[in-house]
Structure 1
Amino acid sequence: MSTEAAQSPGQGPGQSRIHNIGYRDYEGPRLGRAYARRSLYSQSLRGAYGLGRSAKSKVLPMILFAVMCLPAAIIVAVAVATNLKDLPLEYTRYAVVTQAVIGLFLAAQAPQSVSRDLRFKTIPLYFSRPIERVDYVLAKYVAMASALFALTAAPVLILYIGSLLAKMDFAEQTKGFAQGIVSVALLSVLFAGIGLVMAALTPRRGFGVAAVIAVLTISFGAVSTIQAIAYEQGSIDSIEWFGLFSPITLVDGVQTAFLGATTAFPGGGGPGAGTGAVYLLVVLALIAGSYAVLMRRYRKVGL
């Protein structure tokens, strides 16, 4: 539909037109930042497991989830078949034993969560809507922590259900299950922050994958080697302090000091309550520092 506009001097009929193509103002509800933040969280969490993406994107996270749960299912089957009185693997030890699977999952999914937005420069598009930098960082951080928690809590839940099927002591198993859940929740938040920081440093997904694997693997390998050397040299008191320099040994130290877990440190001498407080402070500082680094990073790329 078109109508003739008012003509200026020297213009003939039909030389100036106003075209009405039917645009109207939006009159529906405006859901605001909270809805946008929830939507970004949901999309990021689903994306970590390939949901809503191509079939190829689902293969690796689903395989890793199955690999994570398989040992727990085997333990449960053996416990039920042989009428064991206690689980052969403590709830708090499961994530430490399967840390390689957790590291692979984080290395694959943290770059997927943030690197593509950086590479294709879509961050300004997010911030052009009613969403701010803090909303983006929080949604991505909580989504990755939730994805890791689902990965690590599922086998702990399988162990707990299996212990009840095997008719083990209910109070003891419930206490151990609660300790295991607290442990994997702490691990999920810590690892999510570290993984997202490494992935957000580069728009290249491959570099992000390599960075996450390097930080988790090299730090644990170096700390474990130094602890073993210290144990062989008789420097028992120094072993617990070396554990401050690796994410997984930090979690191990916290759960040993405060959750009654059995440590993986050489000699079985984990940190006590005093040293455990230092471990907890370092974990909290790393979580807060990861959040601060992400906020600083997106202050620059969001322009």
Structure 2
Amino acid sequence: MSETGVIHDIGYQRYEGPRLGRAAAINALYVHGLRAAFGLGRSAKAKIFPWLVAGITVLVAVIIAAVKSQIPDFTFGYVDFDDNMSWLIIFFVAILAPALVSRDIRSGVLPLYFSRPLRAADYVVAKFLAMVTAVWLLLGVPQFIMFLGAAFTTKDGFSGVWDEVQDLAPGWAYSLLWALLFTSIGLLVASLTGKQAFAAGGIVAIFLMTAPVVGVLSVLPSSAANHMAGLASPMTLISGVGSWALGSQIGLDLGRYGPIYGIEAFCLIAASLLLLLARYRKVASL
């Protein structure tokens, strides 16, 4: 008796639609990451912290706008807003970065991502841009609320509004610097572990443990050490760049070392991104 094989048609069909390629994959990861930053499409529990932080920043902006409308000499500016919200941004980044990358490591979906056509660099770019956008919105939207309050209550007409625009633009640029530096450090740390709690703790530790070093260096008898003390912590590093480039006051005398703060900030962002890319290229090659 001879055996014969039988092919059964169970209805599967080949995909014949458009193949969108890498650009669409990057955009999908970016949109998903931005939505995840604020808990959109996730459980109610995931929405509590990001919207609480966003609510606090908006509330502070509304209060500042109200005070400035009543007290014209109130000098709290857009750059000052970023410096005063720094602790909230630390914890926001500590929660967001692990949610964007540590979860992918833990669930083991990276080999699926990198099968095709997405590359390691595409993944890094999408996650980085999503987190930068989220952090910038967290600072930029309240700054815009402050601007609206000042613009609608100014007594100088169009010239007063234009003055506010000229103040807002550097404030937004400063917010972007905060977003770039905090995102690069946060994603790099979070990419090293699949455990979100460990990643969050590591991110917070980097910012908190470097702050006392600044205090120690700032009281040494060496004037050079005092001027460069802010280089030891990411928070004072950014504030130092703001003091040098925008003239903000951070309580540290930079002396003639202001450009060094800008150079270190650029190098730290670039180095973090290169290490992050190397990390995911290693994962993609496995």
TM-score class, shorter: over 0.9
TM normalised by structure 2 equals 0.93
CA distance in 2, matches of 1:61, 1:210: 17
Q: Which has the larger radius of gyration?
A: 1
String of CA shifts for 1:176-208, please: whole Å, max 9, x gaps: 111111111011011100000111111111000
Distance 2:215 2:138 in 1: 24
CA distance change for structure 1 residues 256 and 209 in 2, over 3 Å: closer, same or farther? same
Aligned pair partner of 1:196 in 178, 187, 191: 187
Indicate yes or no: 2:153 matched with 1:166. yes
Cα distance per residue 1:19-43 (max 9 Å; x no partner):
1223332211110000000000110
Q: Bigger CA drift: 199-208 or 215-224? A: 215-224
Residue 6 of structure 1: aligned partner? none
Q: 1:224 to 1:150 in 2, by over 3 A?
A: farther
Partners of 1:166 and 1:239 lie apart in 2 by 41
Q: Is the 8 A contact 2:94 2:204 kept in 1?
A: yes
Contact 1:253 1:270 in 2 (8 A): yes
Shift, 1:161, TM fit: 1.2
Tell me how many residue pairs correspond in the alignment.
281
Unpaired runs of 5+ residues, structure 1, are 1-9
Aligned to 1:20, what secondary structure does the other structure show? Answer: coil
Shift of 1:173: 2.0
Equivalences for residues 97-246 of structure 1 within 5 A: 97-167=84-154, 169-227=160-218, 229-230=219-220, 235-246=222-233
SS at match of 2:7: strand
Question: Of 52, 59, 62, which aligns to 1:63?
Answer: 52
Q: Distance in 1 between matches of 2:8 and 2:276?
A: 47
Report SS of the residue matched to 1:18: coil
> Kindly, what percent of the aligned residue pairs are identical?
37
Q: Normalising by the residue count of structure 1, what TM-score does the alignment of the two structures yield?
A: 0.88
Moved more, 218-227 or 89-98: 218-227
Moved over 4 A (4+): none
RMSD: 1.7
The amino acid across from 1:191 in the alignment is F
Q: Structure 2, unaligned stretches of length 5 or more? A: none
**CA–CA distance in 2 between the matches of 1:199 and 1:222?**
23
**Counterpart in the other structure of 1:49:** 38
Query: Which residue in the other structure is 1:256 paired with?
Result: 243
1:253-292 to 2 correspondences below 5 Å:
253-265=240-252, 269-272=253-256, 275-292=257-274
Contact conserved, 1:223 with 1:243, CA < 8 A, in 2? yes
Aligned-pair distance for 1:18? Answer: 1.2
State the distance in 2 between where 1:59 and 1:36 align. 28
Q: State the Cα distance separating 1:171 from its structure 2 match.
A: 3.3
Aligned to 1:7: none
